[in-house]
Amino acid sequence: MKIFTNHGLFSRLGCLVAAGCISMCFSATAQAQEVITIKQAVERMLQNNINVKQSALDVATADVNLSQSRAALFPTLNAGASSDLSFGRSLDQTTFQIRNQALSVTNGRLSTGVDLFGGLVKMNQIRQNKILLEAGKSALERTKNDLVLQVVTSYFQVVFNDDLLKASQEQLIVAQQTLARENALMDAGNKTMADISQAKAQVATAELNVTNAQNQLTISYLTLAQLMEMQADNANFKVVAPTIEDINYAQKSYNVNEVFTEALTRYPNIKEAQLNRQAAEVGVKVAKGFQYPTLSLNAGLGSSYSYVFDDDDNQPFSDQINQRFNQFVGLSLQIPIFNGLTAKSNVKRAKIQYQGFINQEQLEKNNLNKVIAQAVADLRAADARYGSTEKTFNAQNDAFMVIEERYNVGLVNSLDYNTARTNRNRAEIDFIQAKYDLLFRSKVIDFYLGKEITF
């Protein structure tokens, strides 16, 4: 935003020189800075943020759980061996006679088993884990979305504070020029010390505004850098401000029901709530499955070798292995009759959990509806405020230019001049804030619609 003045040729040259010096210093600093767009800021946050990485690990864990539940359908296969050394009376595995000698017995076995029926517990666990994996992915997207909105908010705050600083610096230049002019007029006998004191107060106020604006800009840059997980020593960057075309082309009218219906199909908070409800529903079937009998098929083979110390009649190893080789196959049926009401209690807990996720899903929908309705209302208000602040700024600017011309020829006192300038400056700040607020509100609704935020 530029402040229009009419202080004569000398004042205009002073303004251009001062503004040029600031611009040159700013340009020199900017050359050493990295320029980051809002899209790049979001991408950098998504790449570096620890919460995003942690959510990605949760998704990886859910994927492992799904793979493990699928593998549980396959038969088990286990091998084992044992070796015992006994002293005193023991059974000779070769002759099946009782011996009173030191005896070493080694056994080896290979067994397998598979569940033929188990209340469909394993099948339902696979279904549940598949849903939970998708829920984990939605939770990851929810984490990203929450952080994206924080980055966008911080980015717009930087842009606003940057414009505010520029406006404050230009106002300081004008205040300094006014003080110089008052001093010159006082030397000519046309001004009093009261006029000089008032001009100095305006300079001091302008300097304070510059300091405050600089501090706000520094803090907003720091906040944005922290969201991008940038170290303070390396946080030397500059953001790209939206153009007036971006603001003019921003969509300013939305239908609440249309936005809500569209957001329901893509908003990750809703997807996550729906998937958690579906997983809990399958969880009830898993709990019920443990109330059914379990039928398993088991098979195996094994052999053994024994050695009697201080006995020359020990059979060779291969002969014993062949002679004692055995196989087995069988069915195992387990019927739950009473286990301390564990199965029934688990079913009740699963049903309660399912009902809780139904409520959570509805709560997420209600919250989304409220948020979108508020966002649409905020956009409508921001559009109206943008139009009114633009008119107010133009009117205050025109009034200030008229008063400035009259002030330059001595027809307006310094109090009226400073009042007009303060009103114009205030209107300019309100206009700066309104234009960025309008674009921000529009981008927020685009965010809920799943659109990429860029300009």
Distance CA 393, CA 195 (A): 27
Q: Are 140 and 101 in contact (CB under 8 A)?
A: no
pLDDT attached to residue 308: 79
Q: Ramachandran region of residue 54, left (φ > 0), alpha (ψ -120 to 50) or beta?
A: alpha
- Among candidate residues 452, 391, 449, 440, the one with its CA nearest the CA of residue 160: 440
- Among candidate residues 442, 438, 429, the one with its CA nearest the CA of residue 385: 438
Structure letter (DSSP) for residue 233: G
SS3 breakdown of the chain: % helix, strand, coil, rounded to 5?
Answer: 70, 15, 20
pLDDT attached to residue 69: 94
Q: What residues contact residue 134 under an 8 Å CB cut-off, 6+ apart?
A: 271, 275
Q: List, in sequence order, the alpha helices (H) in 1-49.
A: 8-31, 38-48
pLDDT attached to residue 199: 84
What ranges make up the beta strands (E) of 118-228?
none
- Among candidate residues 103, 101, 83, 108, the one with its CA nearest the CA of residue 93: 103
pLDDT attached to residue 233: 62
Quickly count: other Cβ atoms within 10 Å of residue 249's Cβ: 12
- Among candidate residues 312, 388, 424, the one with its CA nearest the CA of residue 1: 424
pLDDT attached to residue 383: 92
**Burial 87-100, CB ≥16 within 10 A → b, else e:** eeebebbbeeeebe
Q: Mean pLDDT for each 10-residue chunk of the chain (455 residues)? A: 33 37 42 81 91 94 95 93 83 70 87 91 95 96 92 93 90 86 77 81 92 94 91 77 83 88 91 96 94 93 85 81 91 88 92 96 95 93 93 94 86 82 88 90 88 80
SS3 of residue 110 by DSSP: strand
Q: Are 52 and 147 in contact (CB under 8 A)?
A: yes
Distance CA 415, CA 454 (A): 45
CA atoms within 13 A on the CB side of 173: 24
